Chains A and B, each alone.
Chain A
Amino acid sequence: MISIRRRLIIMLLSLIITIGGVTVFFTYNDAQHEVGELFDAQLAQSARVLDALILHQINKSDITRVDLNDIQNILNHITVLNTPSNNIVNENDNSGITSYERKIAFQIWNDKNELILRSASAPDIPLSNSSLKDKSPGYFDEHINNKRWRVFSLKTEDKKYFMQVGEQYEIRDELATDISKQLIRTSLLSLPILAILIWIAISKGLSPLGRIANEVTKRNKGNFKALDLEDIPLEIEPLTLSIDDLLKRLEEAFEKEQRFTDDAAHELRTPLAALKTQAQVALASNNDDEKERALKKIVQGVDRASHLVNQMLVIARMEKYPITNQSINLNELTSELLEQFKNKIKLKGLSVSFNAQEDVVVQSDITSLTILINNLLDNAIRYSPDKGEINISLSSNNTIVLSIENNAEVIIAEDLERVFDRFYRVPGTNVEGCGLGLSISKKISDCLGIRLSLDNKVDGSGIVAKMVW
C-alpha cells in the first residue's frame, strides 16, 4: 500500500537535499570569488609594501637573511583594511585559527631579467614568465611545478626593477572549501530535525482522514446519517461529501431491500396465517355448517397460495431461460390472449375494444412476451370494476405502442412509484393477487427492451398500461 506520509517525507527531504546541494555549490563558487578578491587585494598590498620596504635597501645591497625573514613575516601578515571581507579574516585570526597563514613569495628582477632577490618560498624561475617578458603589471594565473599560483606583477616606483609577488591557490581553495563544508555540516545536522518536523506536520495534516475512518468504523449497522465532523479541511471536504452521498444511496438501497422483505413477508405469511386460522376454526367447530364453510375457505386460500407459488416460479424461470428472437405479429398474439379471457370478461360484464393498425410485427421472445401481455390483460380485467370498459390499442408509427386502459380507481403517485416492486400491493386493494404480476411484467419488459409504464389516465377515469418498443 502507498503511504502518503512516507511519500511526502521522501519527496520533501529529496527536495530539501537537492536545494541544499545547489546552495552549497553556489556558496562555494561565491566564497571562492570573494576570497579571491580579498586575497588579490592583499597580494597587491604586499607588493606595494615590499616596494616601500626593501627597494632602497636593494640599492644599497645590504640585505641580510634576517631582514629577508622579517620582510617575509610582515608580508605574510598583511591584511587589507576597509574591505568587508577583511573582518572575517581578522576574526579568524583573533580566534586563533592559524590554518590560513599565508605564504607570500616574491621575486625582484632587474631590467636585464636577472633575478636579484627572492624570498625563500619563491622558486628561482620567474613566477610569471609572460609578465616578465613584456614587463606588464597586473594579476596572472600560473602553473609552477604542478601547483597553481596567483601572481601580481608591478614595476617598482623608480622603474628600475620588476617585482613579482605570488602565492599558491591552495590556501584560497582551502578557505572556500571550509566555508562550504561548514554550510554542509549545518544542513546535514538539521536534516533529522526537519524530518521529524515534517513527520509531525504531515500527521497533523492527515488527522482528518483518521477521524473520518473512525467515524465510519464505529457506526452501528443501519446508521446512514451524514458524517458529522467539525473542522474538515477544504481538501478533505470532497471526500466527506462523497461518503455522505454514498451513505445516502446505501440508505436508499437498504430501505428498498427492507421494503421488499417487508412486502414479501406480508404476502407470504398472510395466506399461511389465513390457512392456519381457518383450519383451526374447522377443527374446533362443533357445527357442521361452520366446519364446511371453513374448509371451503381453506380451498380458496390454497388457490391463492398456488397463484403466488406460480408467479414466483415464473420469476425463477425467467432468470434461467435464454431469450429467443423471432417475428411476432402483435395483432394476432393480443387477439389470441384476449380470447382466453372471454369468460372472465363475460362474468364481469365488461365491454372490450381492440383498435389496431394492421400487422404490427416485432422481433421478440414469444414466451416472455406472452407472459407479459397476458399479465397486463389479466390485471386490466381483474382490477376493472364490473360493467367497466377496457380499451386496447395497437399503433405502429415511429414507435410501436400497445396500450391497455380500464376504469380502475386511480392510484396515488406514491403508490404508482412502487407498483413494479416485488410483492408490493396498493393498500386497500381488495382484488385477489400477490403483488408479483406487475414486477414480473416489468422484468420481462426490461429484458425484451420494451418500455413499460403504468399511469393514471389524464382525465382520471382509469388506469393505462403502455408498452413501447
Chain B
Amino acid sequence: MRLLLAEDDDLLGDGLCVGLKQAGYTVDWVKDGIAANNALKHEQFEILVLDLGLPRMSGMEVLKALRASGNMIPVLILTALDRIEQRVAGLDGGADDYLVKPFDLDELCARLRVLQRRTAGRANPILIYKSIKLDPAAHEVTLDGEVIELSHHEFVILHYLLDNIGRVISREKLEEALYGWDGVESNSLEVFIHHLRKKFGASLIKTIRNVGYVIEKDSP
C-alpha cells in the first residue's frame, strides 16, 4: 500500500516514515507543498497523509489542487491546528479525515485503514476470497482458518491484489506499491509471487504475460 507523507518537521516525518513502514505501508516522504503537489501529479499513491503547515505551498493548497485535478485519493490531514473552523475548512477542502498533533500512531494507522476500506467500498475490514481471509489491521492472513506466515512484501502484494480483485495489476504498480522511491530489486517480484503461489496454491494468482498479475473474481 503506497502512501505519500507530506510533513516538514524532520523528527516527526522520520518517526512517521518508520512507524508507517512498520504498519505495512510503503512510505514516500516529501517535506514541502510543491514536492507533494508534483509527486501527486506524476505518481500513483493509495493514500495521502498531509500536514497543513507545509512550506512553499500550504497543505490546503495542495489539497485543493489535488481535488481540482479530479484525484480522489483518500487524504488524512495531520496538523497542530485544532480550531473547529480549521477542521471544518480541512474537511470541506476535500480531506477525508483530520487528526490533531500530537496523535497516537496506532490511531493514525486505524484511521488510515478506515479510509482505505471506505475507498474500496467495503464496510468489512477483513478481505475474504474463497477460503482466504486477510486482516489488514492485524497484518494476518488465514487459509481455511489457519494462520499463514507471510513476509512484509508478500503481504503487501496479496493485499494489493485482493483489494483490486478481478483487475489486472501491472508489474510497475506492484513494484511501486512494494518499494516506493526506494528502488527496485530486480526479479524480486517474481520471487514473492512464487512464494505466494506455494502457500495458497498455484491457481490463486494468474500471470497475464507482458501485462501483470490478477486474482480473478470468484465464479459462483
- Residues in chain A within 8 A of chain B (CB atoms): 262, 265-266, 268-278, 280-281, 284-285, 290, 293-294, 297, 300-301, 304, 427-430
Contact = CB atoms under 8 A, between A and B. Distances in A.
A266 B102 contact: no
Given A266-B80, A270-B80, A276 B11 contact: no
A165 to B, nearest CB: 101
A428 B32 contact: yes
Given A277-B102, A294-B15, 11 more contacts: A266-B53, A268-B80, A269-B101, A274-B11, A275-B11, A276-B102, A277-B12, A280-B104, A280-B106, A281-B18, A293-B18
A277 B19 contact: yes
Interface in B1-15: 8-12, 14-15
B18 A294 contact: yes
B22 interface: yes
A433 to B, nearest CB: 12
Contact of B14 (A268, A276, A297, A430): A297
Contacts of B102: 269, 272-273, 275-277
Contacts of A284: 19, 22, 105
Nearest to B23: A284
B19 A280 contact: yes
Size bracket, chain B contacts: 20 to 34
Contact of A276 (B31, B54, B55, B103): B103
B126 interface: no
Most buried by B among A262, A274, A300: A274
A277 B15 contact: yes
B56 interface: yes
Interface of B: 8-12, 14-16, 18-19, 22, 31-32, 53-56, 79-82, 100-106
Contacts of B100: 269
Contact of B80 (A269, A280, A430): A269
A297 to B, nearest CB: 6
Nearest to A283: B105
Given A277-B15, A285-B22, A262 B55 contact: no
Contact of A281 (B8, B19, B56): B19
Contacts of B18: 281, 285, 290, 293-294
A383 to B, nearest CB: 15
Contacts of B31: 430
Given A277-B105, A278-B14, A270 B19 contact: no
A104 B202 CA distance: 151
Nearest to A286: B22
A44 B188 CA distance: 146
23 contacts: A270-B12, A273-B103, A274-B12, A274-B14, A275-B11, A276-B102, A276-B103, A276-B105, A278-B11, A280-B15, A280-B19, A280-B105, A281-B18, A281-B19, A281-B22, A285-B22, A290-B18, A294-B15, A294-B18, A427-B54, A428-B55, A428-B56, A430-B31
A276 B104 contact: yes
A368 B55 CA distance: 33
A272 B8 contact: no
Contacts of A294: 15, 18
Closest 8 CB pairs of A and B: A428-B55, A277-B15, A427-B55, A273-B101, A274-B12, A273-B102, A274-B11, A269-B80
A297 B55 contact: no
A422 to B, nearest CB: 15
Contacts of A430: 10, 31
Contacts of A268: 80
A298 to B, nearest CB: 9
Contacts of B16: 277
Given A277-B105, A281-B22, A428 B8 contact: yes
Contacts of A429: 55
Contact of A265 (B11, B56, B82): B82
Q: Which of B31, B54, B80, B104 has the most CB of A within 10 A?
A: B80
Contacts of A300: 11
A55 B102 CA distance: 131
Contacts of B105: 276-277, 280-281, 284
Contact of B15 (A265, A278, A427): A278
Contact of A274 (B15, B32, B56): B15
